[in-house]
């Protein structure tokens, strides 16, 4: 298989960024430009691929902080859900809640994704968008049917779920998103989330205490 996925955990909230590379087309997709654009860029360069697309699962600052710097380094287009734009534009002041100073501006999105699922294709990399609001407005998960992997952002974690006490948070909506967009995937599908380690849909279905009621 020519497709590889590299996980990098960066920033003060230990947020996961993922670089997906296709060694045949020599193109890469990056999910969540979390922090430290030079480190993300280096990881792409080391793979020998060109960054063709940057996607964000949502616009919380720890997931998009490097978006503008990464775009300046690579010129790769940046896509995010339309509903996430107000929060994206608030990036410089988002850190206030956490006692942080002014943060950098976010990249301007080159395309706004919608709530209707679509398949984004870069070389042999196929990513299906799944609208999963509840943790934040305009949250998207990205499912790779060929690799049986879902990038879940901050919806579903190993043994936990995304918090819903921040702006745009809605517990019932999050549970609905998990139930209809993630738990509908097969048990063997790997979950690569915005924080913490790798799990599977099956493990979470069986053991995640937050999913016990559904
Ligand atoms: Zn978040
Ligand atoms: Zn997060």
Both structure tokens of 3: 């497709």
Rounded-to-integer distance, Cα 21 and Cα 50, Å: 9
Q: Which listed ligand is nearest to 59 at the C-alpha?
A: 1
What residue has token string 């779920």? 161
Q: How far does residue 64's CA lie from ligand 2's centre (Å)?
A: 10
Q: Which listed ligand is nearest to 62 at the C-alpha?
A: 2
| Contacts with 157 (C-beta within 8 Å, 6 or more apart), sequence order | 193, 194, 195, 196, 199
Tell me whether strands 78-81 and 50-55 are parallel, antiparallel or unpaired.
Answer: parallel
Q: What is the pLDDT of residues 47-81, one digit of tens each?
A: 999 999 999 999 999 999 999 999 999 999 999 99
Which of 110, 63, 66 has the alpha carbon at shortest distance from 87? Answer: 63
**Which sequence spans correspond to the domains of the chain?**
3-211
Rounded-to-integer distance, Cα 185 and Cα 193, Å: 15
Residue 1 pLDDT greater than 70, yes or no: no
Q: How far does residue 38's CA lie from ligand 1's centre (Å)?
A: 22
Q: Which CATH superfamily is domain 3-211 in?
A: Ribonuclease Z/Hydroxyacylglutathione hydrolase-like (3.60.15.10)
Q: How far does residue 195's CA lie from ligand 2's centre (Å)?
A: 6
Q: How far does residue 64's CA lie from ligand 1's centre (Å)?
A: 10
Q: How far does residue 145's CA lie from ligand 1's centre (Å)?
A: 24
DSSP 214: -
State residue 156's pLDDT score.
98
Q: How far does residue 136's CA lie from ligand 1's centre (Å)?
A: 7
Q: What is the pLDDT of residues 96-105, one digit of tens each?
A: 888 888 999 9
Rounded-to-integer distance, Cα 60 and Cα 56, Å: 10
- pLDDT over 70 percentage in the chain: 100
**Burial environment of residue 137 by CB neighbours within 10 A (0 to 12, 13 to 18, 19 or more):** buried
Cβ atoms of residues 44 and 25 within 8 Å: no
Both structure tokens of 123: 């070389």
3-state SS class at 197 = coil
Distance of CA 74 to the CA centre of its chain: 19
Residue 151 pLDDT greater than 90, yes or no: yes
Which of 26, 77, 73, 38 has the alpha carbon at shortest distance from 56? Answer: 77
Q: How far does residue 25's CA lie from ligand 2's centre (Å)?
A: 30
pTM above 0.95, yes or no: yes
Cβ atoms of residues 199 and 207 within 8 Å: no
| Contacts with 108 (C-beta within 8 Å, 6 or more apart), sequence order | 78
């Amino acid at each position: 298989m020519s497709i590889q996925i590299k996980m990098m955990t960066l920033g003060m909230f230990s947020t996961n960024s993922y670089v997906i590379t296709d060694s045949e087309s020599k193109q890469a997709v990056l999910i969540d430009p979390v922090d430290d654009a030079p480190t993300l860029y280096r990881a792409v360069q080391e793979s020998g691929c060109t960054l063709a697309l940057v996607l964000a699962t949502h616009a919380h600052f720890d997931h998009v902080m490097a978006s503008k710097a990464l775009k300046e380094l690579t010129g790769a287009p940046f896509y995010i859900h339309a509903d996430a734009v107000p929060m994206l534009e608030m990036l410089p002041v988002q850190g206030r809640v956490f006692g942080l100073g002014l943060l950098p501006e976010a990249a301007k999105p080159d395309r706004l994704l919608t709530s209707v699922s679509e398949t984004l294709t870069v070389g042999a990399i196929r990513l299906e968008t799944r609208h999963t609001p509840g943790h934040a407005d305009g949250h998207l998960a990205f499912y790779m049917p060929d690799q049986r992997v879902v990038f879940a952002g901050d919806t579903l974690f190993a043994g936990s779920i995304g918090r819903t006490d921040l702006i745009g948070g809605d517990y019932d909506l999050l549970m609905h998103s998990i139930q209809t967009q993630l738990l509908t995937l097969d048990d063997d599908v790997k979950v690569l989330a915005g924080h913490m380690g790798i799990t599977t849909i099956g493990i979470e279905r069986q053991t995640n205490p937050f999913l016990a009621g559904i």
